[in-house]
Amino acid sequence: MDSAVTLAEARARGFDCFALSMDYGQRHKTELERAKAVALAGGAVKHQVIQVGLSELGGSALTDDIDVPKDRDEDHIGQGVPVTYVPARNTVFLSIALGWAEVLGARHLFIGANQVDYSGYPDCRPEFLRAFEALADKATAVGAEEGAHFKVEAPLLDLSKAQIVQRAAELGVDLSITITCYDPVDRDRVTYSCGHCDACILRLKGFAEAGVTDPIPYLEEQQS
Amino acid sequence: MDSAVTLAEARARGFDCFALSMDYGQRHKTELERAKAVALAGGAVKHQVIQVGLSELGGSALTDDIDVPKDRDEDHIGQGVPVTYVPARNTVFLSIALGWAEVLGARHLFIGANQVDYSGYPDCRPEFLRAFEALADKATAVGAEEGAHFKVEAPLLDLSKAQIVQRAAELGVDLSITITCYDPVDRDRVTYSCGHCDACILRLKGFAEAGVTDPIPYLEEQQS
């Protein structure tokens, strides 16, 4: 959902967008299929999946056999670093995007990072994004030779999930093809979100607060 | 060769070392086999290969069908960004190392970056390494929660190739299992270095200046 709205924001600002997904051994491959659908529906010039074997390093419930936490209290979701944190994920992700940007001649990296509902991820903080911009200018041939400046754009950084849902409506983003769940289940060719992991809880809360019905299917009826 | 000496420097300083190689679609897979041999011979606790699909982004002679330049004048090797530059390679590499370091509880990242003979790579400059250190403290859970500081150590940064060869001798590093060539050839189960790419030219020059015979086989007799 955040990626879909981020793409729409970039398109609305007039950018030609090259969409990048990272296959880092996440348990839910559905994420990558949906990412492709979202990229194409959102008018990306190209969607590229890059494989990165982060799961071999261990340390996260999103790639390991660690259980994804369920039914946690909303107030506790933002506390500390969650077990779903993939070490250095956004750093690796932005680094690969930087390499592609250099090949393409692009200078703007858009990322759907968001620090409002989910402050536990260190690599979603503005000081991380600014540090990455500083690095990008030193790390690249164009930065070294021409003094080019890279910009990391995170248009959702300070939006609540409810505001992201509202922004999606304003920009005409189809959220029915997005998926947010950390632990989705496939049944009869339909992918159901669990409704109980942190990501589902925050998504459902965002839709509820925005007064919008979430168009995706959940395992049980969550939106009573 | 640089990685082997870097590992020896880290071991000499008393570190337990976890060696990381990146399979980024380089044309010469021999590099990864040799990296494993070098890591084990050098006393690494573990050697891990992580796959990163950088070759799908294009833009480098090391991964694409662009020809590796041969027989260039030594004086021209350091000029500008070489076609063998892989966009954002060291940024991606250090990012993955950072993720692993976080999982392991390590704070020191050693990299064989060297800026003396080969100044064309932007991500081998000290200002790049310092920018990455600044990023690492912002990017990680331990940096965010405990104020942990990561150190990027590049013990070869200011050494000439000749000095690296000398340092290898001092530290007892077996350089016969290393490979440097960008375009090696396998014949009769022996991997021969080409002797003509920039990497071979600089390696051979380093051995010559150090007054040491390079123990690895070359396609023709280079060391007359």
Residues of B in contact with A91 (CB under 8 A): 95, 98-99, 135-136, 139
pLDDT tens digits for B27-51?
777 889 999 999 999 999 999 999 9
Is B126 in CB contact (< 8 Å) with chain A?
no
SS3 A128: helix
Q: Are A151 and A108 in contact (CB under 8 A)?
A: yes
Q: What is the pLDDT of residue B212?
A: 96
Judge: A54–B50 Cβ closer than 8 Å, yes or no: yes
Mean pLDDT of all residues in B213-223: 82
Is A191 in CB contact (< 8 Å) with chain B?
no
Q: What is the pLDDT of residue B64?
A: 59
Q: What is the pLDDT of residue A25?
A: 78
Tell me the two tokens of residue A22.
């990272």
* Mean pLDDT of the residues in chain B: 87
Residue B39, CA distances (Å) to A48, B42, B44, B89, B102 in order = 33, 5, 5, 20, 20
Select from A81, A99, A131 the Cβ nearest to the Cβ of B54. A99
Select from B57, B85, B141 the Cβ nearest to the Cβ of A141. B85
Q: Is the pLDDT of residue B164 over 50?
A: yes
Higher-pLDDT residue of B144 and A3 is A3
Is B32 in CB contact (< 8 Å) with chain A?
no
Residue of chain B minimizing CA distance to A95: B92
Q: What is the pLDDT of residue A222?
A: 45
Radius of gyration of chain A (CA): 17
Select from A52, A91, A145 the Cβ nearest to the Cβ of B139. A91
Judge: A81–B51 Cβ closer than 8 Å, yes or no: no
pLDDT category, B222, cuts 50, 70, 90?
A: very low
Residues 6+ away with beta carbon under 8 Å from B148? B107, B137, B140, B142
pLDDT tens digits for B165-212?
999 999 999 999 999 998 899 898 899 999 998 889 999 999 999 999
Q: What is the biggest distance separating any 2 CA atoms in chain A, rounded to whole angstroms? A: 58
Q: What is d(CA A186, CA B78) in angstroms, rounded to the nearest whole number?
A: 55
Q: What is the pLDDT of residue B78?
A: 56
Min Cα separation A105/chain B (Å): 11
Residue ranges of domains in chain B, CATH in brackets: 2-176 (3.40.50.620)
Q: What is the pLDDT of residue A224?
A: 46
Q: Is the pLDDT of residue B146 over 50?
A: yes
Question: In 10 A of CB B18, how many CB atoms?
Answer: 18
Judge: A87–B127 Cβ closer than 8 Å, yes or no: no
Is A145 in CB contact (< 8 Å) with chain B?
yes
Is A99 in CB contact (< 8 Å) with chain B?
yes
Residue A73, CA distances (Å) to A164, B60, B64 in order = 21, 49, 50
Continuous segment of H or E residues that includes residue A186 = strand A185-187
Mean pLDDT of all residues in B101-116: 92
Q: Which residue has the tokens 């060719």?
A: A189
* Among the listed residues B3, B118, B113, B96, the one whose alpha carbon sits nearest the alpha carbon of residue B52: B96
Enter the DSSP assignment of A67: P
- C-alpha angle A187/A193/A198, rounded to 5°? 150
End-to-end CA distance of chain A: 21
Predicted model pTM: 0.86
Q: What is d(CA B82, CA A142) in angstroms, rounded to the nearest whole number?
A: 13
Is B147 in CB contact (< 8 Å) with chain A?
no
Question: In 10 A of CB B82, how many CB atoms?
Answer: 22
Q: How many helices (H) and strands (E) does chain A have?
A: 8, 6
* Strands of chain B, DSSP E: 18-23, 46-51, 108-110, 151-153, 185-187, 190-192
Select from B58, B138, B143 the Cβ nearest to the Cβ of A103. B58
Q: Are A165 and A191 in contact (CB under 8 A)?
A: no
Q: What is the pLDDT of residue A116?
A: 79
Residues 6+ away with beta carbon under 8 Å from A49? A21, A22, A23, A32, A35, A36, B53
Judge: A59–B102 Cβ closer than 8 Å, yes or no: yes
- The segments of chain A whose pLDDT lies below 50 read 222-224
Tell me the two tokens of residue A205.
């809360």
Helices (H), B42-177: 74-77, 89-104, 126-139, 141-146, 161-171
Q: Are A168 and A41 in contact (CB under 8 A)?
A: no
SS3 percent helix, strand, coil of chain B, rounded to 5, is: 45, 15, 45
Residues of A in contact with B49 (CB under 8 A): 53
Select from B53, B90, B141 the Cβ nearest to the Cβ of A50. B53
pLDDT tens digits for B6-27?
999 999 999 999 999 999 877 7
Min Cα separation A104/chain B (Å): 9
Judge: B99–A57 Cβ closer than 8 Å, yes or no: yes
